Amino acid sequence: MDKVMLGMSGGVDSSVSALLLKEKGYDVIGATLELYAGSSCCNINTYIDAKGVCNQIGVPHFTFNYKDEFKKYVIDDFINCYANCKTPNPCIECNKYMKFGIMYEKAKEMGCKYIATGHYAKTEYSEKYGRWVLKKSKAGKKDQSYVLWNIPKGLIQYVIFPLGDFESKDEIREIAAKNNLRVAKKPDSEDICFVPDGNYKKFLENNSEIKPKIGNIVNSKGEILGKHTGLYKYTIGQRKGLGISYKVPLFVIGFNPLKNEVIVGEESELYKKEIEVSDINLLLVNEIKDWIEVDVKTRYSSKFAKAKIKQDDNDKSKIIIIFDEPQKSITPGQSAVFYIDDIVLGGGKII
């Protein structure tokens, strides 16, 4: 019987995952990571719910304190991105370093062959590519393969996603209810876990050197149109809260950190045909020498866009993306994730 460590947040997805793994005959160990005191996924209720479900279905549960590591790999990156006019996705860093990094090392230490989470995604061996691949789940908009592009490629064959073949959250709640799991009706957490009130600006001001600083709002010609109180308060594509009136709607299209300027423009100025990404992670191939056609997602909530990609001939650590149609509100710091059919080819951070 293979042993598997399951990351448990106390929510319905990971709780049902524990049940499904046990039903399939795995020797399951539930693990909750303490990452940030008072966050939406690291509070006393989280531990009580996760441990309660494990007790109910008869599997052991452990809690591991990784607050220092979480600060180093996730929170510090979050702060650094905003300090450099980028918009981060902390879930992607957490998956790479915490769940599929540190938790996997702990799992091996405890004799586990596999790790599992309640993500909506799939892993399987592809005969076509001769390797293990990360794939989209059947959950449509709920699919979470986008936030998993940065996990180590060699780990894929040791990862199990028990929810990969379910099409909706309702099915998961139904299983939880049928088995009388205490978390069957527990609401989802949509916020950044360490910013449970959703006010990331206040979080940055309270936890870093980032403070309000007045500067100019300018258009692409350099004309001053208004004032702002801090570059970190804005993101590409933002229209509301600019506090300026103009003959046409204006949107944030960029930043000039040296001059402490927010740059705004008309909607047409938000579109880009070509972008680059760095910090790349290729899961399906070892390198991209020639142009290949892919579907690209530039945000978790964005639609897929057709594009061609290849590694930069002069710098293999970057990938050039040329979209078939210009894309709106491309945001530095976010991830561009590449798909061939339903397989994740890889991804990178938008520059």
End-to-end Cα distance, the chain:
45
Mean pLDDT for 90-119 is 97
What helix, strand, coil percent values describe the chain, rounded to 5? 30, 30, 40
pTM here is: 0.95
More confident residue, 197 or 317: 317
Q: Is the pLDDT of residue 48 over 70?
A: yes
Cβ-Cβ contacts under 8 Å for 197 (sequence gap 6 or more): 191
Give residue-wise pLDDT tens across range 53-99. 999 999 999 999 999 999 999 999 999 999 999 999 999 999 999 99
Strands 61-65 and 27-34, by their bridges, are: parallel
CA 197, CA 274: separation in Å to the nearest integer?
A: 36
Mean pLDDT for 200-209 is 97
**94 an active-site residue?**
yes
Distances, alpha carbon 49 to alpha carbons 7, 118, 145, 179, 186, in Å: 13, 15, 26, 15, 10
**Strand (E) positions, the chain?**
3-7, 27-34, 61-65, 114-116, 121-126, 131-136, 159-160, 215-219, 224-228, 251-256, 261-265, 271-282, 292-297, 305-312, 315-328, 335-340, 343-350
- In the chain, the domains with their CATH numbers are 3-178 (3.40.50.620), 212-265 (2.30.30.280), 271-350 (2.40.30.10)
CA 54, CA 62: separation in Å to the nearest integer?
A: 10
Tell me the pLDDT band of 41, cut-offs 50, 70 and 90: low
Q: Which of 85, 91, 94, 112 is catalytic?
A: 94
| DSSP 3-state of 230 | coil
Cβ-Cβ contacts under 8 Å for 246 (sequence gap 6 or more): 225
The Cβ-side half-sphere exposure at 124, using a 13 Å CA radius, reads 13
Helix (H) or strand (E) holding 107: helix 103-109
Instruction: Give the whole-number percent of the chain exceeding pLDDT 90.
Output: 91
Q: Is the pLDDT of residue 149 over 80?
A: yes
Residue 188 has what pLDDT? 83
| DSSP 3-state of 154 | helix
Strands, sheet with 114-116, edge to edge from the N-terminal-most edge strand: 61-65, 27-34, 3-7, 114-116, 159-160
Distances, alpha carbon 181 to alpha carbons 8, 18, 314, in Å: 14, 11, 55
Tell me the pLDDT band of 197, cut-offs 50, 70 and 90: confident
Give residue-wise pLDDT tens across range 312-347. 999 999 999 999 999 999 999 999 999 999 999 999
With vertex at residue 312, the alpha carbon angle to CA 309 and CA 316, rounded to the nearest 5 degrees, is: 110
User: Among 228, 162, 175, 216, which residue's Cα sits nearest to residue 22?
Assistant: 162
Instruction: Give the whole-number percent of the chain exceeding pLDDT 70.
Output: 99
77, 133 contact by CB (below 8 A): no
Q: Which of 54, 81, 112, 193 is catalytic?
A: 193
CA 97, CA 99: separation in Å to the nearest integer?
A: 6
Residue 159 has what pLDDT? 98
Tell me the pLDDT band of 40, cut-offs 50, 70 and 90: low
User: Among 300, 312, 302, which residue's Cα sits nearest to residue 275?
Assistant: 312
Strands 251-256 and 224-228, by their bridges, are: unpaired
CA 242, CA 226: separation in Å to the nearest integer?
A: 8
